[in-house]
Amino acid sequence: MLASRARRKVQGTPPPEQEPRRQRAVVDAFLAAARSGDFEGLVRLLDPQVTWRTYHPQGVLTTVGAAEVAGPILRGGRSMTSALPVLVDGEPGFVAWGANGKVLGVVACTVVDGRIVEILTVSDRRRLDTMGLPERPR
């Protein structure tokens, strides 16, 4: 155990207990960039081959690539009035609400080496209604 910690320290690898905080920081920066309209900031946080899967009433839409994902994320960020950080199946994410007070969606992000490599979004109202989501922050 001591040798493992020493190797991580020498190699610059963060201790395992710090990784969730680092992942949350990336997702928080992603959310801030989306809400402020920072396209370049979003692209920097996304892996060049990021995959975004959106589950909506018509089915699943998949988008691949940082620039291809950043554009629609910015448009969605404009309609978001509040967000609450959550864990979704152990991954950092957030619940987003619109101006009418209704949940817009639940977002989960997979972060690897400081970049988001996968985004899963659920915006299907029937699915959202079964999730037992938290109350909108005041």
What's the pTM? 0.83
| Domains of the chain, earliest start first | 16-129 (3.10.450.50)
pLDDT digits 0-9 by tens, 55-69:
999 999 999 999 999
Write down the mean pLDDT value for the chain.
88
In this prediction, residue 76 has a pLDDT band, given cuts at 50, 70 and 90, of: confident
pLDDT digits 0-9 by tens, 25-48:
999 999 999 999 999 999 999 999
| Least confidently predicted of 1-5, 12-16, 72-76, 127-131 | 1-5
Is the model more confident about 116 or about 79?
116
- Rounded CA-CA distance 134/123 in Å is 15
- Rounded CA-CA distance 72/42 in Å is 11
Characterise 65 by phi-psi region: left (phi > 0), alpha (psi -120 to 50), beta (else). Answer: left
pLDDT the model gives residue 17: 59
pLDDT the model gives residue 5: 43
pLDDT the model gives residue 18: 73
What percent of the chain has pLDDT above 90? Answer: 72
In this prediction, residue 9 has a pLDDT band, given cuts at 50, 70 and 90, of: very low
pLDDT the model gives residue 134: 87
